[in-house]
Amino acid sequence: MDLNLLQKTELWIEGISLQNAHLDAIAAQVAAVLELEPREVMVVDVREDHLVLDILRPVLKASQISGKGEEILRRISAIPGVYLSAKASLHAEGALGWVYLDRDDYQATWPKARQIGKGIQERVAKRAIIFSTGVEVEKGLIADTNFPLIEECLKREGYTVSFGGVLSDNIGAIAYQLEKALDEGFGLILTTGGVGAEEKDCTVESVLRVDPSAATPYILKFEAGTGRHVKDGVRIAVGKVGISRLVALPGPTREVGLGLDRLLEGLDREWDEKQIADHIASGLRKKWHEYGSGSGHP
């Protein structure tokens, strides 16, 4: 079962004192116990009688956390310069607190916790945040007709919907907002616009920065370098981090409506990210073919 830490990522070790100890060694041992990469655990505070670590991966499996407290204390006590008192203990809030369950408590708590975790996952899955992109929307040159459409559609499906604002055409800035939405526990993170072949279009690349394995099928293919086409085509993106999905759709409202319908269909059928992305892209390719046959661009 996946557990979203929901920004409660600090793990406190109390009853600990240090003398010329290497903090990286402490972080590495904690990471090893939690089945994480060394870079995903960092010591962020050291005091005379306690130490605080930050877990940098927002979603962990219950099996990575539960009942691992004793092993963490045992591992770090063997590090030169680390001294634990007889009352040394761990403290954490939220899901990370499972780390200091003992094995008996873990076995007794697991069935109920799994039920609670399932309920949390269902609630997170129904929390959506929508971002618009583009300087033309940001400066008010054109009305944002996408958010009202998406909000109405998602609310009919039982989602709570938030507006994340208008994102600037910058990969780093967009990726930061996507990661922030993940940390805040949104299960559906959706962007509209910025998927084209111009230099300013970068939402697909931003999704790939957050989830390098995201599915990014083409809607249209071009020859890069012709006209305004810096890139070789128009793509959409569907990615997943933990239990949260990231989706980048085109900007035109009719395409957003079509893409959203197909997204919800894929979610309802519990398809994986590639299946959902291909389903969205095939519908949009068909629509673009109709435009090219004379029905006009939206």
Domain with CATH 3.40.980.10 in the chain: 126-295
CATH of the domain spanning 126-295, picked from 1.20.1250.20, 3.40.140.10, 3.40.980.10, 3.40.50.2020? 3.40.980.10
Domain with CATH 3.30.70 in the chain: 2-115
Torsion of CA 140, 142, 145, 151, to 10 degrees: -20
Q: Count CB-CB contacts under 10 A for residue 72.
A: 21
Cα–chain center distance at 58:
8
In a structure prediction context, what are the per-residue pLDDT tens digits for the chain, which is 298 residues long? Answer: 565 556 668 889 999 999 999 999 999 999 999 999 999 999 999 988 999 999 888 777 777 877 788 899 999 999 999 999 998 988 887 666 666 655 555 555 555 555 555 556 677 789 999 999 876 676 666 678 899 999 999 999 999 999 999 998 899 999 999 999 988 889 999 999 989 888 888 999 999 999 999 999 999 887 766 666 678 889 999 999 988 999 999 988 999 999 999 999 999 999 999 999 999 999 999 887 776 544 433 3
**What's the pLDDT score for residue 119?**
57
**What's the pLDDT score for residue 230?**
73
**What's the pLDDT score for residue 98?**
62
pTM for the model:
0.64
**What's the pLDDT score for residue 270?**
92
Q: How far is CA 233 from CA 98, 168, 178, 199, 222, in A?
A: 47, 21, 23, 12, 5
Question: How far apart, in whole angstroms, are the C-alpha atoms of residue 257 and residue 251?
Answer: 10
Question: How far apart, in whole angstroms, are the C-alpha atoms of residue 99 and residue 93?
Answer: 10
**What's 2-115's CATH class?**
alpha beta
